[in-house]
A = this chain, B = another copy of it.
Amino acid sequence: MHADIIIEGGTAITMIDGQEPVRNARVFIADGRIVDIREADQKDTYLDCSAEIVDAKETIIIPGLVNAHTHAAMTLFRGFADDMPLKEWLFNRIFPAEIRFLSTETVYWGSLLGCLEMIASGTTCFVDGYFFQDETVRAVNKSGLRALIAQGVIDFPAPGVDDPKENLRVAREFIQKWYGYSELIMPGIFCHSPITCSEKTLSGAKEISYEFDLPMQMHLSETLEEVNDIVGKTKKRPVHYLDQLGLIDESLIAAHAIYLDDSEIECLGEKGVKVVHVPESNMKLCSGVGRIPEMIKRGVTVALGTDGCCSNNNLDLLCEMDTAAKLAKVFDRNPTSLNAREVLKMATIGGATVLGIENEIGTLERGKKADIITLDVHTPHLCPIYDPLSAIVYAANGGDVKDVIVNGKILMKNREFTTLDSAEIMEKVNAISRIITKS
């Protein structure tokens, strides 16, 4: 039996419920998939000398992380505006900067930097919503990452979509263009929010997502103000308003989902909506804290995201897991809330479920796609290790990621990128940021 890559050594955390860590593991990868995963001291009939060896001694091996809500090209605006209220930040700083500086070129380089940062910090798959998304497709394609890339829809003039009346047409054409293009790239539609999109836009977007049988993304109940606006206008809370429009179902990916009452959580659970928790962005913009443990209890699938890195300000899911676990504890007044395993599930199989590909990625399992990362644990802040899950969630950060494999292809080996030229990308984005600063 043939293997293209063998990950050799290390402790594998499969994230399959009930399965113990595999110590001194050997992971066999062929044709993009995991062929086998077992202890190295068993007799190795599969050993194939032509396979590329990934030396994983003194590492933890886990499924690649899924960043289930981000806007990759917003790396362009990392640190551009901080310590401001969301509305002022968005409407006075970010939206005007986007209108002025986003172009096919800047989105391409910003997305490449996002991909580079995600690879460097162990993300193997992400869910993106932005503008000029042809360029994000190009960047992701070059990077070798897996992604759901959605064209933004908003009822204002937007980057690349001057006339809001054209927003659905642009999104539909984007999907049509890239549908089936690559097994790693899924196009999609991203309605900005029920506040910034009319009923007609929301319903139209939903029709497009039905037509192509693709998920639809949306920001949901991110601020109290937004909820009050919708209740004022529609006499319904946001989830019920969207339900009436036919948007609340399994294909909806709802990011933030902070201000939900019990009836809304119940509705999300019953109808199979996917929620993406973005704790650091919610904290930084002072939006609030989602009722995540309650949602999980009610059967809602919850994944983890960083949001765009200008409200975070990085794309590091390892740090995001730590924050998610700690924030839930102090906010719920329950120190057992969101334990290490639950949070790592959110960032792996939870994210896979949001994309509807939980049978393909999200655990280390024979037959699944080989989306795998290793974390170097031979480092002071990860010593000693009583529990690998604790080390990952509570002590590690993105810089500990050593190797990254997506779809059976190595994207980073011993912290060297194989698909992207990091110096070139940083130079290009620095040049763009100098233009932004000067103007």
Contact = CB atoms under 8 A, between A and B. Distances in A.
A330 interface: yes
Contacts of A378: 426
A287 B322 CA distance: 16
Interface string A258-291: 0000000000000000000000101111111100
A85 B285 CA distance: 29
A436 B285 CA distance: 43
Given A286-B329, A329-B284, A381 B117 contact: yes
User: DSSP class of A's interface residues: helix, strand, loop or mixed?
Assistant: helix
B82 A390 contact: yes
Given A85-B335, A339-B83, A319 B397 contact: yes
Given A323-B323, A397-B319, A397-B399, A384 B286 contact: no
A112 to B, nearest CB: 10
A196 to B, nearest CB: 20
B395 A397 contact: no
Interface in A360-414: 378-381, 383-387, 390-391, 394-395, 397-400
A344 interface: no
A280 B313 CA distance: 18
Given A284-B329, A329-B283, A383 B336 contact: no
A327 B331 CA distance: 10
Nearest to A417: B380
B335 A120 contact: no
Contact of A79 (B394, B399, B430, B433): B394
Oligomer: number of copies: 2
A434 to B, nearest CB: 8
Contacts of A429: 383-384
A116 interface: yes
Contacts of A314: 381, 394-395
Contacts of A288: 330
Number of contact residues on A: which range applies? 35 or more
A319 B120 CA distance: 17
Contact of A313 (B82, B394, B437): B394
A340 B282 contact: no
A84 interface: yes
A309 B283 CA distance: 23
A316 interface: yes
Q: Pick from A89, A280, A323, A326 the residue with the most CB of B within 10 Å.
A: A326
A333 interface: yes
A241 B344 CA distance: 44
A432 interface: yes
A335 B383 contact: no
A12 B229 CA distance: 46
A76 interface: yes
A326 B283 contact: yes
Nearest to A392: B79
A330 B287 contact: yes
A177 to B, nearest CB: 28
A78 B336 CA distance: 17
A398 B381 contact: yes
22 contacts: A75-B384, A78-B383, A78-B386, A78-B395, A79-B384, A79-B385, A79-B391, A79-B394, A113-B380, A120-B380, A283-B330, A284-B335, A285-B329, A286-B330, A312-B395, A313-B390, A313-B394, A314-B381, A316-B381, A383-B426, A384-B430, A384-B432
Of all A-B residue pairs in the complex, the 3 with the closest CB atoms, nearest first, are: A399-B399, A384-B433, A286-B335
